[in-house]
Amino acid sequence: MIFSHGKNSKNRFSVYLVIYVYNYLQLVYFYLWISIYICKYMEITVTESGYITLFQQTEELVERFLKSVNLRQNSRALYKRTLKQFFLWAESRSHSLDTITIVELIQYKEYLLSPERGLTSLTVGSYITSLKKFYEFLESERRYPNIAKSLQNPKRKQQFRKSPLSPEQATELLEYIRTQALRDYAIINLILRTGLRTIEVIRANVGDIIVKPGGHRALLIHGKGRDEKDNFVILTEKAWKPISEYLESRGAYNISEPLFYSSSNNSKGERLSTRTISHIAKEGLRAIGLDNKNYTAHSLRHTAGTSLLRATGDLEKTRLMLRHSDPKTTLIYVDTLTEERRLKDSGEAILDTLY
């Protein structure tokens, strides 16, 4: 009887164990099913490492957003890059798309503006703009409310981010560049005499050089944010001669070729990049002693505008040459000249002569 009782106990224990394991497996299966459902609902995909970043969680939403905006390819790439930066910041502070509020957006803006980041207000403004557009999209899709509606872009300082050269410095730069490659001299000379942007220089083709009524030689311009070449700069004899000599040195060419192209072995004959022009300008500026971050290729455009306004005092003539659509942009050049006069003949210095 004792043996029989022990055998029944073992049988009951086995039954209980089977029931316990069965219930445990059902519970595990239930939680696994719930997890899979939530992942699908939140549009999350698991990476090979098993870790899912916040940007990966929202990547499909970001891609749909980018397809919904009417932008150039490089602008879409900028939006994607700045949004990724935001999600990395949010994740480092344990935020998710559900928990982010206007408070976090303001904190992110302050983070971007912090001195250690070294970003200009213009750059920070591009980050904020992409965020605002993204949240507008999320609201239109009825995914999340537009919490970025009241987020403001940082105010831009009414001054140049890059310093213009004096006429003496511009002359010294041209004399130095003249001793370098013929192409480089033609480019720097062209920017200083027309105020072209670097992007406008690299977009120019040989066939964009035309003759306007009255015999004025001109270069058609594919301007910033434009879809076609709907503007021009006048090529004076001083602006045209180095270009003519450079083209002649190239030998045979056709009108569809870039006005300025690469001469390196890896990309010979290909269109230049803005980085190449920036490098050419920076090397020349360093050579004449202007070796700091305030002097770049964009300084050459500012030099053209400032020099023309200083010589003529004609704001409209300056606006037309620089092709500013908003006259307020040209007023920045007035502020630069005002500062020049303030430094040249200061009231403080006059007082020092009196007592």
Instruction: Give 124-156 pLDDT, tens digit per residue.
Output: 888 999 999 999 998 998 888 999 999 988 876
Q: Which CATH superfamily is domain 167-344 in?
A: Intergrase catalytic core (1.10.443.10)
Q: What is the pLDDT of residue 55?
A: 62
DSSP for 82-126, please give it: HHHHHHHHHHHTT--TTT--HHHHHHHHHHHHSTTT---HHHHHH
Q: What is the pLDDT of residue 15?
A: 65
**Quick check: 43 and 59 in contact, CB under 8 A?**
no
Q: Which residues of the chain have pLDDT under 50?
A: 1-4, 37, 39-52, 159
Which among 109, 102, 111, 119 has a CA at the least distance from the CA of 153? Answer: 109
Name the amino acid, one letter, at 237: E
Q: Where are the domains of the chain?
A: 54-140, 167-344
Which among 150, 171, 165 has a CA at the least distance from the CA of 103? Answer: 150
Q: What is the pLDDT of residue 97?
A: 82
Q: Tell me, yes or no, if the pTM score tops 0.85.
A: no
Torsion on CA atoms 18, 19, 25, 29, rounded to nearest 10: 150
Alpha-carbon gap, residue 161 to 296, rounded angstroms:
10
Pairing of strands 231-234, 216-221: antiparallel
Q: What is the pLDDT of residue 343?
A: 80
Q: What is the CATH number of domain 54-140?
A: 1.10.150
Q: What is the pLDDT of residue 77?
A: 86
Alpha-carbon gap, residue 185 to 249, rounded angstroms:
13
